Amino acid sequence: MNARLLLASGVLAIAVIVGVFALSSSKPAAPVPHRIAAAIPIKPAPQPSPKPSVPPKDEPFVIKRILPIEGAIKYGEWHWDEANVPAGPIVMTVDLDARVISVFRGGYEIGTSAVLLGTGDTPTPLGVFPITEKDKDHVSNIYTGAPMPYMQRLTNDGITLHGSDVALGYASHGCVGMPVDFAAKLFGTTKIGDKVYITRGKQVGLGDDLAGG
């Protein structure tokens, strides 16, 4: 009796051991948690260095058309014709000897007028001047409140384009004065930054490059 019990106990123990081994060997491997995979840093691909920006150069501004005007322009006279002229940059020229301003759009002359200029102690300066300010109803704070309609500033010391009574024998304090109606046309055409080339005796013709001097 005791021998049978001992034998049965041994068989039971062996069965338990085999069952435990079978359970442990059939258990699947634990999956890797997502947060562990996400925690592994991914090195970004190297980005090319940005190329330094290069400011654009002034493009040549070639004269493509001159308004067909007979003879010299008289004081108080002006002309404007922009029919069929394509869009383009505005450039103005002022010849101190001819006392004339010309307005070009994309190389086509669209306007011209006789002008008043400075003399003596207040000459109109030579050079290239961008428009830095515009004021339709400007009044001078330098010359006793003188009206300067359609003012377009060229220098910080008071040189401007503006409407004026253009007549023989009149002069300005260095500004470029033009008939008021012409000044209004010009004011509505230009924008801040448009350039005015003031020269002495430089005649421009078809094919000339203004920007190249």
44-96 tens-digit pLDDT? 566 666 655 554 555 567 899 999 998 889 999 999 999 999 999 999 999 99
Residue 6: pLDDT band (50, 70, 90) is very low
Q: Which residue carries 């034998």 as its tokens?
A: 7
List the structure tokens of 36: 């562990």
Contact 114, 74 (CB under 8 A): yes
Q: Which helix (H) or strand (E) holds 37?
A: helix 34-38
pTM of the model: 0.69
Per CATH, domain 78-199 is 2.40.440.10: yes
Neighbour-count burial for 68-83, b at 16+ CB within 10 Å, e otherwise = eeeeebebeebbbeee
